[in-house]
Amino acid sequence: MEGNARPAVTANVVGEMNVDPFGDSEHEVEFASASRLRRPFCFVAEPSTSKPGAWHVTQRLASLRGEERANVLRVVGVAVFYAIEVLNYRGLELGPIQLSSVEGVDATFHAGATALAVAWMATAAAVLVAVKNHIFPPALKYISTGADLFLIVAVLTLADGPRSPVLLVLFLIIVLAGLRLHRRLVAFTTLGAVIGYGFLIGDVRVRRPELAVPAHWQITTFAALILCGVVVSGILVEVERAVRSYAALERGEQDT
């Protein structure tokens, strides 16, 4: 392909881009090397005379950056919560700071929590390798988010289920979905969080009835998860509106 003029491409391009999503000039994609064009799932590009929409380009670029940021936060979150688990297991004696170990956090629980933390870090490493190698299919954000939901539900199943303070991580995962600027992903994450919480309710009812929570707790938590998704989606609606308005303003200024 080197030496030939690059065709204009549609906005479903993924890779190292240098595009102006708001200008009127032809949109071309500049890749760091020709070999990258042969990598699977790097991008989907087809010759086209149409220009990519401002929101579509912004959303695609922000989705890549958002996945990177979400992955960093994923690593930080796992490290922080695992450190708390270790403190609960071993306790802490550091001068005036005395923290006793938590009852119920035994060797079996610690081993299970460690295995899940390792699996979570492996997920983060896989996402990092994919993003750094420009392997960024649209399904990646759903896979990584689905893994987050599965692993946090597994942690909660191992812990105190709906009574565990770690339950709040479900809300963080919904917020993280918003970093990708995809409302469908937010809806997917919210639905997954609701299903996961419902599974925890059923799990403690069958296996550990002493950890069951009152009905009004359940209703409140379900409502809060759904409203969290609605709020994040509302923010994305306003972001999209702002991007489209700015693009229209830029075009108007260029026409004058």
Q: What confidence tens digit (pLDDT) does each residue in 104-146 have?
A: 788 888 899 999 999 999 999 999 998 888 887 888 899 999 9
pLDDT at res. 54? 62
* 70 is a domain residue: yes
- Give strand ranges (E) for the chain: 92-94, 97-99
Contact 45, 86 (CB under 8 A): no
Q: How far apart are CA 40 and CA 51, in angstroms?
A: 24
Could you report how far apart the first and last alpha carbons of the chain are, in Å?
Answer: 38
Q: How far apart are CA 202 and CA 166, in angstroms?
A: 18
Domain count, the chain: 1
If pLDDT is split at 50, 70 and 90, which confidence band does 97 have? Answer: confident
pTM of the model: 0.73
Beta bridge partners of 9: 47
Helix, coil or strand: residue 33: coil
- SS3 for 81-104 is HHHHHHHHHHCEEECCEEECCCCC
pLDDT at 13: 39
Residue 171 domain-assigned (yes or no): yes
Tokens of residue 195, six digits: 């299903």
pLDDT for res 24: 34
Which residue did the predictor score with more confidence, 42 or 250?
250
With respect to residue 113, please indicate whether it lies within any of the assigned structural domains. Answer: yes
Q: Is residue 69 part of a domain?
A: yes
* Rounded Cα gap, residues 52 and 63, in angstroms: 16
| Residue 59 structural domain | 53-255
Q: Is residue 43 part of a domain?
A: no
Q: Examine the pLDDT at 90 and tell me if it is beyond 90.
A: no
**Alpha carbon distances (Å) from 97 to 90, 100, 104:** 14, 10, 22
| DSSP secondary structure code for residue 141 in this structure | H
Q: Which residues contact 57 (CB under 8 A, 6 or more apart)?
A: 11, 19, 21, 27
Mean pLDDT in residue range 206-230: 95
Q: Is residue 141 part of a domain?
A: yes
Answer yes or no: is 144 within a domain. yes
How many angstroms separate the Cα of 114 from the Cα of each of 36, 105, 122, 123, 188? 37, 12, 12, 14, 28
Most trustworthy range by pLDDT among 60-74, 192-206, 233-247: 192-206
Measuring CA to CA, which residue among 159, 131, 132 is closest to residue 144? 131
* DSSP track, 184-246: HHHHHHHHHHHHHHHHHHHHHHHT-GGG---HHHHHHHHHHHHHHHHHHHHHHHHHHHHHHHH
Q: Is residue 185 part of a domain?
A: yes
Q: Of 34-43, 93-102, 156-165, 216-225, which range is least confident?
A: 34-43
Distance from the Cα of residue 93 to its chain's centroid: 36
User: Residue 222's pLDDT is what?
Assistant: 97
**Per-residue model confidence as pLDDT tens digits over 21-61:** 333 333 333 333 333 333 433 433 333 334 456 666 676 77
Q: How confident is the model at residue 209 (pLDDT cuts 50, 70, 90)?
A: very high
Tokens of 124: 């983060």
